[in-house]
Amino acid sequence: MTKIIDGKAFAAEIRAEIAREVEKIKAAGEQIPGLAVIMVGDDPASAIYVKSKEKQAQEVGFLSTVIRLPAETSQAEVLDVIDKLNRNPDYHGILLQLPVPAHLDKDALIAAISPKKDVDGFHPENVGKLWYSDREHQTAIPCTPLGCSLILERYVGSDLNGKNAVMIGASNVVGKPMAALLLRMGATVSICHSTTLDVAEYARNADILIVATGNAHLVKASWVKEGAVVLDVGINRLADGSIVGDVDFEAVKDKTAAITPVPGGIGPMTIACLLKNTLTLRKTKALSSNTNTE
C-alpha cells in the first residue's frame, strides 16, 4: 500500500511544538527567537515565500521582520543591512532570500552573514561542518534538506545503512546538502545533475529517490523501483495555472512505498524547518556568552 506523506500535517505538528517552546521561553521571561529576512527586488515567487515565512514566524510567537530592498540596491547597501543584523541581538536568524538580482554577488553576501546567525546553513563555514559531520558544533541545516530528512526519519527510519539514495539535482540549496545528510544517515548516495548521461538508470536503482530539478513531471513510472520512497521537492506551475512536482505523481505513486505530493509534501516542511532552525540558533546563543552579539 502506498503511503501518501502529508507534509502539511507534519509541518503543522512541528510549528505547534515550536509555539509551545516559545510560550515556555516567554513564561520564563527570556528572550524570544528573532528572524530577519532580507528580500532584494520583487521576484513574484520569492514575494509569496517571504510573506509565508513572515506570517508563520509571527504565528509561532517569534520576532519576525522582513527587510524589503529595491531591485537596484547596491552590494555595499545589502552588506550594510547584513552587518547591522549581525550586530543586532534581537535577531538570532538572518535569511537572504534567493535568488538576488544579477548585479549582486550572492556568495559574498551569504559569506557576510554571521555563521552563528546563518539560519539557512549556507555560509561556507556551516557547509563545511555539514560535510564534516560536525554535529556538536552544527547549527542550522539547510531547510528543505532538513525537512526531507525529518520525513525520512519518520517514514523510513534514521538508519539508511545499505540503502541506495539517489538525489536528482545538485544545487547548493537542496541537492548538495541533501546528499550530505543522506550520507550521514548511512545511505550510499548518487547525485545526478544536468550532464548525467542516464538519470533514469540511476533512479531505477534508488531505494530513496529525491528530486529537485524544476522540471515538471520529469520522473516517470519507468524510472522508479517498486517499493521506493520518493520525495518530490519540485514546484512547477503549468500553463493552466496548476502546480505540479518534478515527479509524475499519478503515474508513479502506486509503485512506491511512500511518496510526497505537490503541493502539500515537502513545501510546507521547508518553512517549518526554517522556524526550527531559528529556535535552534536562539538556544545556541543562550548557551554561548551573553556578551557575544555576533
| Nearest one of 272, 280, 291 to 6, comparing CA atoms | 272
Based on the residue annotation, tell me whether 58 is a catalytic residue of this protein.
no
Residue 213 makes contact with ligand GUN by CB under 6 A:
no
In whole angstroms, the minimum distance from the beta carbon of 270 to ligand GUN comes to: 6
Helix (H), strand (E) at residue 10: helix 7-27
In the Cβ-directed half-sphere of 65, how many Cα atoms lie within 13 Å?
Answer: 14
Beta-bridge partners for 64: 35
Based on the residue annotation, tell me whether 97 is a catalytic residue of this protein.
yes
Q: Which three cell numbers stand for residue 144?
A: 528543505
Q: Site residues for ligand GUN, window 158-177 (CB under 6 A)?
A: 173
Q: Which residue is nearest to ligand GUN (CB)?
A: 98
Amino acid at 175: G
The residue among 96 and 166 lying less far from ligand GUN, judged by its C-beta, is: 96
Residue 178 makes contact with ligand GUN by CB under 6 A:
no
Based on the residue annotation, tell me whether 105 is a catalytic residue of this protein.
no
The residue among 16 and 45 lying less far from ligand GUN, judged by its C-beta, is: 45
Residue from the set 5, 14, 120, 256 that interacts with ligand GUN by CB under 6 A: 120
Query: How far does CA 138 lie from the centroid of its chain?
Result: 15
- Distance between CA 134 and CA 171 in Å, rounded? 21
Q: Which of 56, 116, 120, 276 is catalytic?
A: 120
Residue 143 makes contact with ligand GUN by CB under 6 A:
yes
The residue among 33 and 145 lying less far from ligand GUN, judged by its C-beta, is: 145
Q: What is the dihedral of CA 276, 279, 280, 285, to 10 degrees?
A: 160
Query: How far does CA 1 lie from the centroid of its chain?
Result: 28
- Distance between CA 259 and CA 225 in Å, rounded? 12
The interface mask with ligand GUN, positions 73-102, x = CB under 6 A, is ----------------------xxxx----
In whole angstroms, the minimum distance from the beta carbon of 86 to ligand GUN comes to: 16
Active site positions, annotated: 53, 97, 120
Q: Which residues bind ligand GUN (CB under 6 A)?
A: 95-98, 120, 143-144, 173
